[in-house]
Structures are given as structure tokens and as C-alpha cells.
Amino acid sequence: MTDSTSLLITGANVIDATGERLADVRIADGTITDVATGLTAADGEHHIDAAGLTLTPGFVDLHTHLREPGKEEAETIETGSRAAAKGGYTAVVAMPNTDPTQDSVSVVDFVRRQGQLAGLCDVYPSGSITVGRQGTQLTPFGELSEAGVKLFTDDGNGVQDALLMRRAFEYAKGLGVTMAQHCEVEQLTGGAVMHEGDCCSHLGLPGWPSLAEELMVHRDIELVRLTGAPAHFLHLSTMKSVELVRAAKADGLPVTAEATPHHISLTDELLRSYSAIYKVNPPLRTMDDVTAVREGLRDGTIDAVATDHAPHVPESKEQPLDQAPPGMLGLETALGVCIAHLDMPLVDIVAALSWKPAAIAGIDDVHGRPVAVGEPANLTLFDADVSWEVVPAELASKSRNTPFVGVPLRGRTTHTILDGTLTVENGTPTR
Ligand code: DOR
Ligand code: ZN
């Protein structure tokens, strides 16, 4: 049975957590109603000929800065959701470093509601670990958890106080929520603009040592060992961080980790341009680190690719390196960077973009689901082979600070389906 609201996708290479096969997929009223071969479109049914394309569960970004409330000149929940949809995402976790901070139920509810109004992607607000992200007083985890928050982070900063972090893990354990850490010991990174290493010494710029990340990864692994609470490590960037998480997982500790598209594709050498486009926290590292992070993704030490999509207005990024804010866009280029730079089976790349982050975010009842009858229709259709280059003026994001101009990308979303509705069709957002 079909009706005028139903959608038929034929001939796609379907990839999900159960494997890979050629199939036709019918969607009606937000749900997958048929998965078979040889399906034909009924009269009036919307039909997408997906021969040569790959159909997967929608991507889930664990790390999106949507900037609203507070910095709407750089991004809004609507423009960021549109960028997400264009990149193949059906869900994003919104980082809490907004103004006001996402440290209360009212702000978290506002962010979720704006996401629903935009209707381009499911927006799951994170909550901050400390009030105002000031690092001194824990937020009301219980209330925020009741309001649906599953991931807590002070992202933009790490929680510096070890005792406060211990208490955060202890509360998290009781509530069944996850602490996500931006690992940076700030005493070691004051004034830093790039990775501390040969390139940085040569340029005479203040450096951000790998150790500043690794010390906090180590501290939190030991706090996980002590408390039994889960921890998620945001944007890991160094070889030693990957080794620490690998060892923690071997010990059976409940830790997960993510890496960004820029840390698997770009190095600190780009800072020789003195362009703040390449300034990011944690900073771009060396080729050895890039190789180690890729290997971490390949062997599953790092569970997910997360964008750290961090929009900034052009004026701020045109400032000198020491004054420009850190951060780069990521949502619209993530898939293209992953396929171009990760020597991994496509199913493992999609796992890192979809069902693994969905599980970490605690939304795997709705996102990252198998492509099967009865499942919610949150899906992405992409061309895994197309080579392309990003054109900043064509980005859906309100900002333009992408470091991937001139970088060959491979693989691009053609259609994104949220709750059975096309949010992107033939590469163009529908709303
Ligand atoms: O580069 C970054 N930009 N790293 C962060 O942790 C925060 C982010 C931002 O909000 O701009
Ligand atoms: Zn961060």
C-alpha cells in the first residue's frame, strides 16, 4: 500500500549496522514500510532512482556549535541545522558554550524547540558541567537530565578542578548520563595559537603542547576507574591520547572518544600561512599524530567522527593569530573528508558517522537505526565516489571559516531524510 506522502528509493547500496546489500526502500508517514528488491513506484509516489548511491542511517554529530543563543551573527540553530542536513546529518548534539550557557532547563528547552521549529535536523542540546562554564559549581544534573540532556560538557574549556570533576562523574553514574571532556590543561596552553613543535618554534609562536591534552585524558581515565562512570573524550588530537584511550578500553573501562575531520586530514604545517582559518582547539598537530588518530578510528579506539563545527564571522577570523578565535566549520565537509582521508571500509566510516555516535549520545532508539521495516526514516543518501571541492559561497552555514578550500574531497550527500521528510534533495536543502 502506498499513498501520496510515500517515498520510494530504488537501487541503492544500503549500509547499516547489519551489513551491506542492494535494496529498494519505501517510506511512509515517517517510517520505513518496505525493504525489498524489485519495488516499483505507485502512481503519485515520489521516486528517487538511487542506482550508484549509498543509503545509510542519517549521520549523528556529537559536537556541533550552533551559536544560538548569543552569537547569531555566526550561526543560528536554523542555519546550522541546514548545514547539518546538507552534510547528511539527521541529528546533532548542540554544544553548551552559548550565551547564556546551556546550564539551565530553560536554555536547553529553548535550543531544542528552535531545532524543532527549523525542522531540518533533530537538535539535542548538551548541558554544561559547570554553571556558566566557569569551572567552579556543578549545574543541576538531575533537572537537566529530566529535561532530556544525556551528554554534559564544558566544551570550549576542560574542567580544570579534579575534585569537581570527580563529583561530576559520581553524579553522572547515578543519573545514567555521560560526561564529555574537552581535554586541555589550561596552565599549559595560556596564549597558545598552534601546536607546540618544530613548526611552531620555527615560526616563533606560542605553542599548545600535546601534553596539555594528554594529562587531562589520563586524569579522567583514572577518575572513570575510580567512579565507574562513563566518559567521552572530545576531539582527540595526539598520538599519546589515542594510546591512553586504547589502554583504557583494554582495561574494560567505559570510555568512548571522537576525532574531528580536520585532525584526520590537516597538519600544523598549514599555520606557516599565519592564517587564522587554521587556528583551532585542540590545534592541528603533526603528521604522526594524524596517522595515529586515523589508526585509532580504524581499530575502533576512537568510536566516532565528530565535526566540532565552530562557525565564526569573517571579521573575527581575519584578525591576527593571537586574537582570532579558534574553530572551523565541519558539517558540510565531514563525509567528503572521511572518505578522502580514511583508509577504512565504507561501512566502518558510516559506523563512525552514524550508529556509533548515536549510541554515545543516547539517541540510538531513533537515530543510527538499521534500514529495516518499522524503523524511523532518518536516512542519508550519498555518492561515495564523487570528487568535489568546497565553494565557501555555497555553504548553508552562516559562516565561511572552512579550512578545506582547495582540499580534494570525496563523497557527498545528495538526499537527507528526517522523520520521512526530505530535508535535502539533489544536494539542495528543501527548506
Ligand atoms: O576550536 C574550537 N572552537 N574548539 C573548541 O573547543 C570550541 C570551539 C568554539 O566554540 O569556537
Ligand atoms: Zn572543544
Q: Which residues surround ligand 2, an ion (CB under 5 A)?
A: 155, 182
Cell readout for 289 is 599524530
Within this chain, do residues 33 and 170 fall inside the same structural domain, yes or no?
Answer: no
The backbone torsions φ and ψ at residue 298, rounded to the nearest 5 degrees and listed phi first, read -65, -40
pLDDT of residue 4: 47
Which residues are catalytically annotated?
A: 308
Within this chain, do residues 29 and 102 fall inside the same structural domain, yes or no?
Answer: no
Distance, CA of 417 to CA of 189 (rounded, Å): 42
Within this chain, do residues 89 and 161 fall inside the same structural domain, yes or no?
Answer: yes
Q: Is the Cβ–Cβ distance between 57 and 355 less than 8 Å?
A: yes
Count the alpha carbons within 13 Å of 149 in the hemisphere toward its beta carbon.
32
Cell readout for 61 is 554529530
Q: Which residue range is the domain that position 151 belongs to?
A: 59-361
Q: What is the CATH number of the domain that holds 112?
A: 3.20.20.140
Q: Is the Cβ–Cβ distance between 352 and 296 less than 8 Å?
A: no
DSSP string for residues in 179-196: EEE----GGGTTT--EES
Grid cell 524511523 is found at: 376
> Which of ligand 1's atoms lies nearest the C-alpha of 280?
1
> Which of ligand 1's atoms lies nearest the C-alpha of 328?
1
pLDDT of residue 271: 98
DSSP string for residues in 327-386: -B--TTTHHHHHHHH--S-HHHHHHHHTHHHHHHHT-TTTSS--S-TTSB--EEEEEEEE
Q: Establish whether 63 is an annotated binding residue.
A: yes
Helix ranges restricted to H, 342-414: 346-353, 355-361
Ligand 1 contacts (CB < 6 A) are 65, 97, 155-156, 182, 280-281, 308, 310, 325-327
pTM, rounded to two decimals: 0.98
Residue of minimum CA distance from atom 4 in ligand 1: 281
- The single-letter DSSP state of residue 323 is T
Q: What is the CATH number of the domain that holds 404?
A: 2.30.40.10
Residue of minimum CA distance from atom 6 in ligand 1: 156
Q: Establish whether 154 is an annotated binding residue.
A: no
Which letter, b or e, does each residue of 198-211 get, where b requires 16 or more Cβ atoms within 10 Å of its Cβ? ebbeeeebebbbbe
Q: Establish whether 283 is an annotated binding residue.
A: no
pLDDT of residue 3: 45
**Which-ligand-closest: CA of 263?**
1
Within this chain, do residues 89 and 14 fall inside the same structural domain, yes or no?
Answer: no
Cell readout for 87 is 552534510
The number of domains in the chain is 2
**Pick from 308, 337, 361: which residue ends a domain?**
361
In which residue ranges of the chain is pLDDT below 70? 1-4
Q: Establish whether 65 is an annotated binding residue.
A: yes
Strand duo 231-233 + 428-429: pairing: unpaired
pLDDT tens sequence across 236-282:
999 999 999 999 999 999 999 999 999 999 999 999 999 999 999 99
Grid cell 528526517 is found at: 418
Coil, helix or strand at residue 257: strand
pLDDT of residue 5: 77
Which residue out of 67, 99, 126, 155 has the highest number of ligand 1 atoms within 8 Å of its CB and is therefore the one to mutate? 155
